[in-house]
Amino acid sequence: MNLKNITLLLVFISTVITNSNAKENQVSSPDQNIKVTISIGEEIAYSVDYKGQKLIAPSAISMDLGFGDVLGHRPELMGSKTTTVNEVLKPVVKEKRSEVKNHYNELILSFRGDYQLAFRVFDDGMAYRWISKRKGDITVYNEEANFTFATNQMVYFPETKGFITAFQHTYKYLPLDSISSNRMCITPALVDVEKGPKVAITEADLRDYPGMFLTGNSNNTLKGKYAPYILKGDRLVKKEDIKRADYLARTTGTRSFPWRVVTIVDNDGDLLNTEIVYRLGAPSKIKDPSWIKSGKIAWDWYNANNIYNVDFRAGLNYDTYKYYIDFAADNGIEYVVLDEGWSNTYDIWELNEDMRMDDLTAYALEKEVGLILWVEWSTFDADMEALTDKFVEWGVVGIKMDFMNRDDQYMVRLYERVAETCARKQLMVDFHGAFKPTGIRRTYPNIMTYEGVAGLENCKWADYSDPEYDVTFPFIRMLAGPADYTPGAMNTAQKKNFKPIFNRPMGLGTRAHQLAMYVVFESPLQMLADSPTAYMKETECLAFLSEVPVEWDETVVLDAEVGEYIVIARKHGNDWYLAAMTDWTKRDVTIDLSELSTGTFTLEEYADGVNADRNGNDYKKTIRTISSDETIEVKMAPGGGWAAILRGSEN
């Protein structure tokens, strides 16, 4: 036997001995359906069983602090502590419901070397995180996060070519074992377990640390991957000229690291209902959040200021935005965004004189319409304190920060600095060109919404933000938090009639599909993307859009299937708002009102017209009386939808 074979034999024997002597700790969900087992030997690995089914096989985890200091290698367990929490959270902004049940069992393992591992298990998933107790600063060179599935499964894989990205990828449906180490996706990603649950992988409480991508290794495993720290690079630097460090993060030695989250649910609709990422966020740092006000926004950029039947030249000027403000004030729309062009993109202090910002902001205050200003991140970052002071002087209510397109440590820090600075100045925040939410909106509830979704604006140049995508991303991307999709196209087309036109855009699918988005898609700052003139021409649709809320007391998913259709009901006050959306498949659904309430109600509904399969703009509004022992038969055209208000519910 040669030396190489002897070495391999010794490694094999060592592995067997290590595994046989491994110590196991377990923690389960409150309902006992999810069981997490942590094996401690030469390394630390966790596995997950769901209702007796092996879901995630032993998966190694560690954190490399450099120079041979690796948390999780040859660990020495010093102690463990298990606690149970059962509380009710009351969100400042009610994205799904007014009360969020936060019930979990938590196991904290303490190790020699001043570090811990926390495992938190809910009825709808589990999460783990590293906790460092080191003094001084530390450098993280790598983090090993494996999600090894017991068998090969299919994955909704939002593939990206690199770390610099707008986080707006559509989903490829791939076998796990086909995903090699040179393929990468943003998170969340969704694993479709055959004869088992849906499993979504993402992260929470991401602060002062790079975000997590996922890659594969052709062994039924998804692995965490992270952007190294950027030493040189901003929006104007070419990707090939960006210089990165050999580490992920330099940070304080006493801290908690992000939660690695595995959401586990039986039914597709439960993905629309879970608030696991929000629950894992840190508590609010804003003592008095009463100034934070959700609402709808009249927006200029999608419609390219296509205003008509007016006596002024539409464009980036005072008269145009006075028109937006008047439209908002007349129709109960709380806000207007001034997107790119109100100032010099790369010198915010250089104002567009045609906008007459002093006069415009004063007029908005007079009309009680809040203004939200678009800013490019690096320019805003360079003079954040002074700029926000100026915005407050003008009476502006928030910012829309754009083009970040990365989630390395610096950028993640920037999000929190922006949130903290704006909270001090009582300004709300909309992150565009942004990575997905990670629960920091619980910590800073003035963070109202995020992009990180292939929204309606993509229809200006492409056809992938279509009805199939519209009934896919809510189960995956929206699981992480609100999505600024910017719905509301008044000109819609079926697939065969669609054409991307940058300055005269149209939406894909039907008009009723667009209206349904306002109930299905969650965003506490919800855009009206089309031109005010177009809305004023469509008075019935405008009446619905003026009334539909952006916060909800209760959410009930009536029926749903990833990539196929969604049927949902949300309660606001005494009324229920209902919606259905389908992909490119013509579909009929039946809605049982007894699941929502009892009694007799007025039903106001907006349905696909009989010719909506030919002309996407065809819809029909009806108002009728209905009782809870009746059902509603909804017929949707290809790319269709349905939206309704059920008025008069008392319970």
CB of 143 closer than 8 Å to CB of 180: no
17 phi and psi angles, rounded to 5 deg: -65, -45
If you ran DSSP here, which 8-state letter would residue 458 be given? G
- Comparing CA positions, the residue from 503, 529, 501 lying closest to residue 515 is 529
CA torsion sign for 252, 480, 116, 63 is negative
CB of 86 closer than 8 Å to CB of 105: no
Angle at 312 between CA 307 and CA 314, to 5 degrees: 40
Return left, alpha or beta for 330; rule: phi > 0 is left, psi -120 to 50 is alpha, else beta.
alpha
- Comparing CA positions, the residue from 645, 639, 579 lying closest to residue 612 is 639
CB of 375 closer than 8 Å to CB of 348: yes
Angle at 128 between CA 123 and CA 133, to 5 degrees: 140
178 phi and psi angles, rounded to 5 deg: -95, -5
CB of 91 closer than 8 Å to CB of 100: yes
CA torsion sign for 551, 553, 559, 562 is positive
Quote the CA–CA distance of 129 and 258 in Å, as a whole number. 6
| Three-class secondary structure assignment of 329-340 | HHCCCCEEEECC
CB of 509 closer than 8 Å to CB of 641: yes
Chain position carrying tokens 């630390």:
44
Chain position carrying tokens 């943003």:
186
Chain position carrying tokens 């004869």:
195
If you ran DSSP here, which 8-state letter would residue 211 be given? P
CB of 319 closer than 8 Å to CB of 355: no
Kindly name the residue from 457, 484, 522, 575 that is annotated as catalytic: 457
Quote the CA–CA distance of 158 and 139 in Å, as a whole number. 30
Quote the CA–CA distance of 203 and 214 in Å, as a whole number. 11
Token readout for 272 is 């629309």
Question: What size, in residues, is the chain?
Answer: 651
Kindly name the residue from 268, 300, 376, 402 that is annotated as catalytic: 402
Residue type, 123: D
If you ran DSSP here, which 8-state letter would residue 487 be given? -
Longest Cα pair distance anywhere in the chain, in angstroms? 93
- The β-bridge relationship of strands 428-431 and 447-450 is parallel
Which residues, 6 or more positions from 587, have their beta carbon under 8 angstroms from its beta carbon?
564, 565, 636, 640
Quote the CA–CA distance of 375 and 338 in Å, as a whole number. 10
Active-site annotation holds for 613: no
CA torsion sign for 28, 33, 38, 39 is positive
Active-site annotation holds for 402: yes
Active-site residue list: 402, 457
